[in-house]
Chains A and B, each alone.
Chain A
């Protein structure tokens, strides 16, 4: 009796995390015995993850003198923001804008057209749709970076070389296979009766898609949007190959050139690292539950 009560309260504690409560009750007291080596390993990995992050953040707040004089892992004695000021003066605001434009300009079309395709693949029938689906699945297995040379050629021929649009078009194509896969997995989970009742109400498939499938798969859509956004935001090869002008640099490329120019000023270089990650970090803090839950569900179905 008491064990039942106990496991119930524990379930309530973690209820926000969905499946974890169930997992807990399944693993039962056994899991608690695993705690010692498991916990040690868990905390050890945390240290491995956090130590570099900690180092980057504190160093970015140090003066040059502090960097050379202090213990590298000690907190800065006289914290300064001058490194950040220097980075911002080095056109990082421009790079930030470029990254934002490219990311939004890639993610919104990707998610929109992939959602439509997923809806058709799940709800439709016929050889054509099976073929399209098969092709997208194939796309998952191909390292698409290997196509960079013909893409470079095509972008030149389309007169798009050294433009932000040149970065968006291939980014959209690269993101489609995985996005379609995850979204169709989620659309497949929508109970058939709901589609049936929409049909009986005389709704067209087009209406069903926007009024039923879209709202019901919104969590998945947010997940793939964040996931793709991360990829585009952090992408390096496409901007490296397809742009040239300093005014068109996106953040990772800006980081790389900044590091090349200011390699002696490590605190400033690390401040640029922090600044380029900050927007993503803010998004992560806001949407982390959605992202983590969506990714676990999307990939392990």
Chain B
């Protein structure tokens, strides 16, 4: 009924705007062209390019030659690949396990209205302002066994050779990643918590549910999609922790923190083997897509479209 009412003036105005609405809507498409151009040229073409380059041999300067499947065979037979893959997934999984509970709890905490919590939230965000290079340099100085935190706090167990022992270096990398990225995810959870209808809590309170019950029966289920969004960003983002690890450990000691992205860089731009490096890049892209699709599935099939938008 209301349709008929609203179409009446539309019909009357049509001569003035001269174009029917449908045509007008399709005509908007040209507005996307500049963005589309940049994205096609500097993201889609390189994406195709990386696949093509994985079948070539190139030292980064000279001519590019065809190499067939050689790169793929050599990389897939290289134990270095499996070391990098294992490390990438290990850092991804542990980072997720460490960061998600901390971010979620801090998100719930900062969503409260107490003034000091808002002030804390402002300070929590500080690490996000620093470049990964700056963070890595700061932590290197901070962990100096003689002139850093260990001496400052009088805690001798902090005086370790953090960058010299493989397990310690790996732990350090995971800690510094959490230090840098928890603030961002806290912010996402904070937004998610604020959107939970307060009536749910009122109802729970009337039913006599305690704080902990409310957290597990209302807050957590209501945050399902926020958790998926945050996890997707975290997991896909973990594939690109390149700069932090590059400056902090350079992949060392040995190859103990040489994740895939770093492996790609070192093969390509240090060893001048662009072909094998492109193979690693293709593997990175496949992992990223597979993980994102998997996480969207977790959100439920019918919600897939809107979930991607919910990012």
Contacts and interface: CB of A to CB of B under 8 A. Distances in A.
A100 interface: no
A120 B226 contact: no
B39 interface: yes
Contacts, number: 369
Nearest to A185: B309
A227 to B, nearest CB: 9
A214 interface: no
A242 B244 CA distance: 18
B288 to A, nearest CB: 5
Nearest to B226: A300
B31 interface: yes
Given A20-B112, A27-B201, A170-B42, A149 B50 contact: yes
A20 B214 CA distance: 18
Contacts of A233: 131
Interface string A14-31: 100101111111111011
A214 to B, nearest CB: 13
B201 A26 contact: yes
Contact of B191 (A120, A152, A199, A299): A299
Task: Tell me which of B39, B196, B210 has the highest count of chain A C-beta atoms within 10 A of its own C-beta.
Answer: B39
B240 A128 contact: no
B167 interface: no
Dominant SS among interface residues on chain A: helix
B138 A52 contact: yes
Contacts of B115: 13-14
B91 interface: no
Nearest to A53: B126
Dominant SS among interface residues on chain B: helix
Contacts of A270: 137-138, 141
Interface residues of A, number: 125
Interface of A: 10-11, 13-14, 17, 19-28, 30-31, 33-34, 38-39, 41-43, 45-46, 48-53, 55-56, 59, 67-68, 71-74, 109, 112-114, 116-117, 119-121, 123-126, 128-129, 132, 135-154, 169-170, 172-174, 176-178, 180-181, 184-185, 199-200, 202, 204-205, 209, 230, 233-237, 241, 251-253, 255-256, 259, 266, 269-270, 273, 276-277, 280-281, 284, 288, 292, 295-297, 299-301
Interface of B: 9, 13, 16-17, 22, 24-32, 34-36, 38-39, 41-47, 49-50, 52-53, 58, 60, 102, 105-106, 108-115, 117-118, 120-134, 137-139, 141-142, 144, 147-149, 151-153, 179, 182-183, 187-188, 190-202, 205, 210-211, 214, 226, 229, 232, 236, 239-240, 242-243, 246-247, 261, 264-265, 268-269, 274, 277-278, 281-282, 284-285, 288-289, 291-293, 308-311
